[in-house]
Amino acid sequence: MKSKLMLHNTLTRRKEEFQPVNPPHVGIYVCGPTVYGDPHLGHARPAVTFDLLFRYLRSLGYKVRYVRNITDVGHLENDADEGEDKITKKARLEKLEPMEIAHYYTERYHDAMRALGVLSPSIEPLASGHIIEQIAYVQRILDRGYAYVSNGSVYFDVERYNRDHDYGILSGRRLDDMLSGTRDLDGQSDKRSPADFALWKKAAPEHIMRWPSPWSDGFPGWHMECSAMSTKYLGDTFDIHGGGMDLMFPHHECELAQNTAAEGHGAAKYWVHNNMITINGQKMGKSLGNFITLEELFTGNHALLAQAYSPMTIRFFILQAHYRSTLDFSNEALQAAEKGLDRLMKAVETLGKLTPSERSTVEVEELRTRCEEAMNDDLNSPLVIAALFDWVRIINQIYEKQQTISEEDLRQLRSLVGTVVFDILGLRDEKATGSDNLVAPLVETLLAVRAEAKAAKDWATSDRIRDRLTEIGIRVKDRKDGCDWEIE
């Protein structure tokens, strides 16, 4: 690998050169969705961020095993140990089986991800399918003395752990500060300390999703699935753990503590976190009325939306910001993304029509270097896009004969732009999918007939074809040596 990929590691708080544990293999674990509601904007950002990382590592020649889980049990309403299971609650409200809820929303999530051009992970394990592994993992932590059984539940002993290790190392918190910020336990809790978290919860009689264990009929704590499933598929030391910044605490901090308690060391070498999407400067939330699902974005069916936005517009919008920056959603920003993407795709089309000259006045290597340097600098996709836009201008100049390109350079440029735009950024030309595939060849056929008519000075036929195309929304623009067309 000649490229030196630098990644910002949340654990060390600095950019580090990425060096896989076991090259050419790379293991990535990313926390996937809890499947109890429609996929929304908040799901799109981590999915696109880690899709970019997955695609880039593959393009560098690594053999990547990408594991992204589905949480279908154990995620309680308050993201800690209290409240109802999110999926069970939805099932109760809708009078369905919890697994019907999980299946339905998993399918919805997959449909949305496919639309966004997010590649399927290598393995997509379900929490409910790994209860045995989770029970074994809880037992290992108990055996090491970092957990205790209380009234049929098992809790992680944070204070005991913090004597030997550093609880808070990932999120930059200190246990003392955390404890001083919490109220004392009211005597109702099975926990010894408010900082402790559940590894296994005894199920209340009405709780539907439950499994037998050495401690009680119950279910695993939310953080347990990721410790058990990441190490099952990637080994007890693996390369990259990813997720949204909102998961850093408590979820990832607890996961790291569980791994360290069981193995004596953390599992992931690099922790990578994407920043959040805000809406008109505000955090997205159901109570704020600014909660937008991906389907609402794709259809425009939401009071905050001025229009529908295509999945590729959303993807391009996300890629236009660095993954560690906040990204503010607004109609203006999305409309700008839509225009930008359109310009880029038109240039890709123009690139296909360029004819080579004897020699080049352009330097294709410059684009390659800029894209590589940007991607290697902690996946700086906005800089990649800026480089592409400089080349949109250059491609149009070549087309207008203000610049020239040699046959070899043209071949290189087409291959490079294809790799960057389609393989790495994962964009696609939405206008050229499905039955739209037929539009271009049909228009080209009609324009060829028109060119013959013009050559024969049959102006009536030539004009009739152009006017008919204009009527159906296809604008024809004549040039010295042929014509261009576009869908209005």
Chain residues binding Zn ion by CB under 5 A are 31, 226
Spatial neighbors of 390 by CB under 8 A, at least 6 apart, are: 367
* Identity of the residue, 9 or 258, whose beta carbon is nearer to Zn ion in the bound complex: 258
CB of 71 to Zn ion, least distance (A): 7
* Identity of the residue, 256 or 351, whose beta carbon is nearer to Zn ion in the bound complex: 256
Coil, helix or strand for 487? strand
Cα→Cα distances 170→18, 259, 462, Å: 18, 13, 69
Strand partners, 123: 67
CB of 251 to Zn ion, least distance (A): 5
- CA atoms of 401 and 423, how far apart (whole Å): 29
Q: Which of these, 105, 153, 130, 155, lies nearest to 225 by C-alpha position?
A: 130
- CA atoms of 442 and 440, how far apart (whole Å): 5
- CA atoms of 254 and 260, how far apart (whole Å): 10
* Identity of the residue, 7 or 31, whose beta carbon is nearer to Zn ion in the bound complex: 31
Helix (H) or strand (E) holding 65: strand 63-68
- CA atoms of 265 and 271, how far apart (whole Å): 14
CB of 250 to Zn ion, least distance (A): 11
- CA atoms of 258 and 267, how far apart (whole Å): 10
Q: Which residue has the tokens 């439950």?
A: 210
* Identity of the residue, 215 or 222, whose beta carbon is nearer to Zn ion in the bound complex: 222
- CA atoms of 429 and 40, how far apart (whole Å): 23
CB of 116 to Zn ion, least distance (A): 20
CB of 245 to Zn ion, least distance (A): 13
CB of 226 to Zn ion, least distance (A): 3
CB of 31 to Zn ion, least distance (A): 3
CB of 228 to Zn ion, least distance (A): 11
* Identity of the residue, 60 or 226, whose beta carbon is nearer to Zn ion in the bound complex: 226
* Identity of the residue, 323 or 391, whose beta carbon is nearer to Zn ion in the bound complex: 323
* Identity of the residue, 221 or 340, whose beta carbon is nearer to Zn ion in the bound complex: 221
- CA atoms of 93 and 95, how far apart (whole Å): 6
- CA atoms of 13 and 360, how far apart (whole Å): 44
Q: Which residue has the tokens 């225009």?
A: 339
Strand order in the sheet with 63-68: 63-68, 25-30, 238-244, 268-274
* Identity of the residue, 228 or 424, whose beta carbon is nearer to Zn ion in the bound complex: 228
* Identity of the residue, 31 or 209, whose beta carbon is nearer to Zn ion in the bound complex: 31
Pairing assessment for the beta strands 153-156 and 147-150 based on DSSP bridges: antiparallel
Q: Tokens representing 165?
A: 């290790």
Phi, psi of 114 (to 5 degrees): -60, -45
CB of 241 to Zn ion, least distance (A): 9
